[in-house]
Chain A
Amino acid sequence: MMSRRIVEKAVYWLMRGTTYCLVLVIAYIVIDIVYHGFPAISWTFLTGMPRRSGAEGGIFPAIVGTLCLVLGTIAVALPLGIASAIYLSEYARAGRFTRMVRSAIVTLAGVPSIVFGLFGLGLFVLFLNFGASILSGSLTLACMILPTIIVASEEALQTVPKSLREGSLALGATKWETIYKNVLPYAIPGILTGSILGIGRAAGETAPILLTVAAFYLPRLPHSIFDQVMALPYHLYVLATQHPEVDKVRPMQYGTALVLLVIVLGVNLIAIILRNRFRKRCRW
């Protein structure tokens, strides 16, 4: 009897301890970045051009570059992802082909991001001749997060009860009218929530943009989608490993990391807010 109680207690504390450890590690990372990064943040840092290979000045082009890439990725991945999800969820008949497409999508979600980078280099940069550009980078990032968007969108579509589709069809609505008027509107918040999490990931990735868009040092703003840009994750990588004075630019590294962290967490926060509003509003 006694030993069972001890085991029970031990398991409980083991679980609890593990959870606390995890929280501690995350808190340490965040606090460390904020503590070291915050002093580096200033108006010039946020809105100024970099100087001396990024050792001085600001990171404005990298911020703009990352925002351009995020917007470009959204513009490509969201319509494609939602369209595929609608096809898979509403139109495709259950069968071998659909199963294969689905497992291909799941597999794609597990492909390392550097492979997407190489793929983007081969297809967009070289073969389609888009060069290293915002276009190539956005397309590459879009390919990377498409599986996330498709899976999230399909799940959101599946949570819309079948009875709403039947009710609409029974009134003489076509399939597309039913989807457009009586399924998608209820699925959109869920689709956005899942998609934004994917987009947050795209904002922080280095490998896919390394070969397709990111400039090592380019102290000016892009003029078109065919321009190269600097991007925060790659800039951080450069400052931390490639810079001739790695130790001296420590504050710049932390500042850049903090800005990147704020952008990614901000994106995730939007997703969380959307999801909570959605939960309150929609019940059937």
Chain B
Amino acid sequence: MPVVTPEPDLKQLEPKVRVENLNFWYGATQALHGITMDIPARQVTALIGPSGCGKSTFLRTLNRMNDLIDETRLEGKVLIHEEDIYADRVDVVALRKRVGMVFQKSNPFPKTIFDNVAYGPRIHGVRNQEKLAEIVERSLIRAALWDEVKDRLHISALELSGGQQQRLCIARALAVDPEILLMDEPASALDPRSTARIEDLIGELRRLYTIIIVTHNMQQASRVSNVTAFFYEGRLVEYGPTKRIFTQPRKKQTEDYITGRFG
């Protein structure tokens, strides 16, 4: 097997997140092994791989959500703008404001649509009602939900359909003005039409944010992303431009996975 040559176009992109030799353990079980990758700014990076290969774990190391799980351990470095987010003096709360997250199962708060989107800005000190209303409107427009809910901002978010709830969660994440948006299989629980809407939305958002999306759907990865990372058993097997990964995978495992021979 030939040595992987560096990807010229990936190298040229400005890196937003640099991961260096990242190892992660749940108790005594190692879930991530020596991950090293530069994630480019203002691109959509897809993380693919069979279930249980560590995609979610990796994603959650980027906003330190794994800190919430007892008895976990991390080695290596995660740099955002060259700043190690696991350094001692890092403010986790400020980090999570910069690195937004959308979860696999949409989790709207049992509050009104308005209060859902305004939750983050309020936490971060925005009190002015006009300013809040402006943020809510802008976030809902960006999440392509505004037209559907503008007349009923004060109904419970739980009355929305599944697809609308997930877009609301995206709007809620955008409302705190993050630089990076992490999405963990954001469309896996949705019907095809809602999925298509979310995919279109990701296409729109790529211009403004650095997006990292986990998906187990090959078509989705090839449709929405321009960079793809293939994970297998906690290791980064192959990483490169999406088109190249899907047309000329260099590793046999990648090819087997993409062509549906396992996973």
B residues near A23, Cβ cutoff 8 Å: none
Over the window 154-173 of chain A, the binary record of Cβ atoms lying under 8 Å from chain B Cβ atoms (1 yes, 0 no) is 00000001011011111111
Distance in angstroms from A235 CB to nearest chain B CB is 46
Give the complex CA separation of A181 and B149 in angstroms: 24
Q: Are B119 and A169 in contact (CB under 8 A)?
A: no
Task: Report B92-135 residues with CB < 8 Å from chain A CB.
Answer: 93-97, 100-101, 103, 105, 107, 109-110, 119-120, 123-124
The CB with the most chain B CB atoms within 10 A, among A161, A167, A177, A282, is that of: A167
Q: Are B176 and A172 in contact (CB under 8 A)?
A: yes
**Given A93-B70, A177-B123, A283-B158, does the pair A171, B100 have CB atoms closer than 8 Å?**
yes
The CB with the most chain B CB atoms within 10 A, among A93, A169, A177, A182, is that of: A169
Over the window 166-203 of chain A, the binary record of Cβ atoms lying under 8 Å from chain B Cβ atoms (1 yes, 0 no) is 11111111100100011000100000000000000000
B169 CB-CB contact with A under 8 Å: yes
Q: Are B68 and A166 in contact (CB under 8 A)?
A: yes
* Residue from B63, B70, B94 within 8 A of A170 (CB atoms): B63
Give the complex CA separation of A163 and B189 in angstroms: 15
B196 CB-CB contact with A under 8 Å: no
A284 CB-CB contact with B under 8 Å: yes
Chief secondary structure at chain B's binding surface: helix
Distance in angstroms from B152 CB to nearest chain A CB is 18
**Given A166-B68, A167-B169, A282-B110, does the pair A172, B123 have CB atoms closer than 8 Å?**
yes
Q: Are A168 and B110 in contact (CB under 8 A)?
A: no
Q: Are A164 and B109 in contact (CB under 8 A)?
A: yes
Give the complex CA separation of A181 and B120 in angstroms: 11
A residues near B208, Cβ cutoff 8 Å: none
Give the complex CA separation of A171 and B172 in angstroms: 8
* Residue from B94, B103, B123 within 8 A of A163 (CB atoms): B103
B residues near A15, Cβ cutoff 8 Å: none
B residues near A181, Cβ cutoff 8 Å: 119, 123
B residues near A167, Cβ cutoff 8 Å: 103, 107, 109, 169, 172
Q: Are B107 and A172 in contact (CB under 8 A)?
A: no
A residues near B155, Cβ cutoff 8 Å: none
Residue of B nearest to A95 (CB): B70
Give the complex CA separation of A173 and B70 in angstroms: 19
The interface on chain B, measured as residues whose beta carbon lies within 8 A of the other chain's beta carbons, has a size of 25
Q: Are A172 and B124 in contact (CB under 8 A)?
A: yes
B145 CB-CB contact with A under 8 Å: no
Distance in angstroms from A49 CB to nearest chain B CB is 51
Q: Are A173 and B109 in contact (CB under 8 A)?
A: no
Distance in angstroms from B168 CB to nearest chain A CB is 11
Q: Are A173 and B107 in contact (CB under 8 A)?
A: no
Distance in angstroms from A241 CB to nearest chain B CB is 52
**Given A170-B65, A171-B172, does the pair A161, B107 have CB atoms closer than 8 Å?**
yes
Distance in angstroms from B183 CB to nearest chain A CB is 11
B212 CB-CB contact with A under 8 Å: no
The CB with the most chain B CB atoms within 10 A, among A170, A174, A177, A284, is that of: A170
A residues near B95, Cβ cutoff 8 Å: 172
Distance in angstroms from B114 CB to nearest chain A CB is 15
A1 CB-CB contact with B under 8 Å: no
Q: Are A284 and B176 in contact (CB under 8 A)?
A: no
A residues near B144, Cβ cutoff 8 Å: none
A residues near B227, Cβ cutoff 8 Å: none
Q: Are A166 and B65 in contact (CB under 8 A)?
A: yes
Give the complex CA separation of A174 and B158 in angstroms: 24
Could you jot down 14 A-B contacts, CB within 8 Å?
A163-B105, A164-B110, A166-B68, A167-B172, A168-B119, A170-B101, A172-B93, A172-B95, A172-B176, A181-B123, A182-B109, A186-B110, A284-B110, A284-B158
Which residues of A does B touch, CB under 8 Å?
93-94, 161, 163-164, 166-174, 177, 181-182, 186, 282-284
Other than the given A166-B107, A182-B119, 5 more pairs (CB < 8 A) read A166-B65, A170-B100, A170-B103, A282-B110, A284-B110
- 3 residue pairs, one from A and one from B, having the closest CB atoms: A172-B97, A163-B107, A171-B120
